[in-house]
Structure 1
């Protein structure tokens, strides 16, 4: 088998044309408002195609989007961009031909020969589906006739209906028919932005980037907030957060990254006598500040990478204590995941290599030797009364640094907004 997915060659005649079939995910379950989800899906696809290097086009069939381009755009490039877009169940490089049996058969024979030229083919099968019921042959008749022609053209190639090495898929529309051989997985889920906006509390570890990605796959458009320990820590965690947000922005129209220096506020909590409650008190301050920031930028929820019981601060009691300080709903997409599942997902989405880079985590700053696993609200409130929370939050938000990850330059945090192009 070839290392890369087989893509039929570009044809010089007008009858043939390479394209990509994008099968819709769960939006096909939607009712009267399905068109809104489809429009959002296509908007996100157009964003993902920016900078691809040529002219592209998008058309819609029944629960399928067809993507193509001019001769300057490779099908491989279109496939790579489409696989970034949340909402497609599969991505299939294909050939489109007129909906006549002669054109369908000719395209099938030519493409199978091309595939055989890349390496031995041990077996094949043909599956056909009529989207256009006006077509004069049934689906099974089309499959039988095309299969017979393929067998005649390549008599030494055996047919295997159950587990063929090459499965030719034929989808017949009224004017065009699509033939494909390779089925690549899509990201499934709901189109980013169809469920609203969320603000992700983005640390430098494995968990929060995976949580952000899961939130995107449920239709949430994500911005990010990163708390660092400045002025008591170096900026390494900010560089990591920027790199993580840039990687995550490959899957959505670019979200902004907000960096908040928490070090002085953490010290205020420690001086107020937080003790074993320090970590939970810090988390409460983070979600309180993130809620205020989210309200300012139009977010409707917060997203964290918490996994139940993973660390002492993520017990059920401590999660409840943290939630009490938030004014926006706190979503935890990974609450039931174990660490290995999270690491595997981080590798799959491309954030794992960034997460393992060394940094100075603000959560470790002033952390006590032992963390309370059942932080009591009365005790937490007593500590918080010793500092002016409203003033602390206002000060943190006044000094927030805002970036748009995706620029090629190395981020240098400052008080300005670092504009960046939409990631290509």
Structure 2
């Protein structure tokens, strides 16, 4: 067998799933194939990791795509070599010769699964280390090396690598259910969507606009955010729901300081209908306890009273700086920072109650005929399939841009 490049894709939490392990692993492999995006991909199973190779992608690009897959804890580009110490040493020298940076201290770490190999782990490490010293003159530091050569000995082959990169971790998308995320244009809800995916939820999105009283800027942002998040899961559906008329009806029905909570209850009612229509089992929001007046404990409870579906809040204990830091890490920050006309600020009262009373909200909703408002919003809603390279999605966005904006 000649030397060949591949990537070792390692998972952590899946290994603890007992009898369900194979189902989780199959879900992970399906998502990996989708993320790699080429027809000819070879994925071989090993205990605790997968060996991935394809002739259609360079190792760096294959590694990059696999690092976006939920459920993988480590993504390790490697060279697969024959079952000999000299082949492993030759591969290590070749990898280090191309490795950027100054001459470092180094160590060789050997993990020997193939117990039939003639050398022990320490003997193989010493053999490879001696070859590296002869080639480069580098210094060995077993405690805190600047660079580690990782050698994994399987029963019939050896894998050598010098890069051990973190993956997304968590569980494979789709293994715990389907969620509908209330996606605004802000920082919080995209991060909530990401954290939900990381726990295995397949996410669709619903975005509420203030149309016909606002421009379509927020729709563009919502699509851009959903598109950016699509790197972490297979394709998703984005529902666009104009609620401007409903918001105005609530305001003219005497909602006063409860307007924001009344609006959020309208969003949940509509989202629940869409979720049931499209087999989403839970709703997800970006709420953080106490971050704004509408997210006090009393207001969150009053909001949840408008729907029967479970509402998950992955960021409930996060502060704003933690959320913004995560938005930067997952690359949604720049999109969220773009200006738009947020429907939540439409008809906002001078003061927002921090302790909404459910009975008073029910009276406002009765005067506004909340059921009719929900039906009106659903009648105006449309959906976009968020799929990279989809011309249909771009066409729908152009349609959205042509919505007329009416004065209040």
The answer to whether the superposition gives a TM-score over 0.5 is yes
Alignment: residue pair count: 397
1:32 and 2:13 matched: no
1:385-405 Cα offsets, whole Å, 9 max, x none, are: 113222322222222110012
Q: Does 1:263 align with 2:244?
A: yes
- Are residues 1:112 and 2:96 paired? yes
In structure 2, stretches of 5+ residues that fail to align are 401-408
Find the counterpart in structure 2 of residue 3 from structure 1. none
SS in 2 for 1:404: strand
Alignment of 1:6-155 (within 5 A): 15-50=2-37, 55-70=40-55, 72-115=56-99, 118-154=100-136
* Aligned residue runs from structure 1 range 18-417, under 5 A: 18-50=5-37, 55-70=40-55, 72-115=56-99, 118-154=100-136, 156-405=137-386, 406-407=388-389, 410=394, 412-413=396-397
Q: Deviations over 1:352-391 (max 9, x none)?
A: 1100111000001001010000001111111111132223
Is the alpha carbon distance of 1:114 and 1:239 closer, same or farther for their aligned partners in structure 2, counting shifts above 3 Å?
Answer: closer
Q: Deviation at 1:293?
A: 0.7
Instruction: Give the drift of 1:408.
Output: 5.9
CA distance in 2, matches of 1:121, 1:143: 19
Q: Distance in 2 between matches of 1:362 and 1:25?
A: 41
Three-state SS of the structure 2 residue aligned to 1:182 is coil
**How many Å separate the matches in 2 of 1:323 and 1:339?**
22
Kept in 1: contact 2:95–2:161 (CA 8 A) = no
RMSD between aligned residues = 1.6
CA deviations over 1:238-264 (Å, ceiling 9, x no partner): 000000000011110011000000000
Does the CA-based 8 Å contact 2:92-2:161 persist in structure 1?
no
Gaps of 5+ in 1: 1-13, 417-424
Q: Distance in 2 between matches of 1:20 and 1:104?
A: 16
Instruction: Tell me what 2:404 maps to.
Output: none
Q: 2:181·2:285 contact (CA, 8 Å) conserved in 1?
A: yes
Contact 1:171–1:178 (Cα < 8 Å) also in 2? yes
- Secondary structure at the residue paired with 1:215? helix
Tell me if the contact between 2:221 and 2:335 (Cα under 8 Å) persists in the aligned partners. Answer: yes
CA distance in 2, matches of 1:119, 1:349: 27
Task: Give the structure-2-normalised TM-score.
Answer: 0.94
Give, in whole Å, the separation in 2 of the partners of 1:368 and 1:111.
63
SS at match of 1:386: helix
Q: Could you tell me whether the CA contact under 8 Å between 1:198 and 1:301 is conserved in 2? A: yes
2:384–2:396 contact (8 Å) kept in structure 1: no
Partners of 1:204 and 1:237 within 8 A in 2? yes
Instruction: Normalising by structure 1, report the TM-score.
Output: 0.90
Q: Displacement, 1:104?
A: 1.3
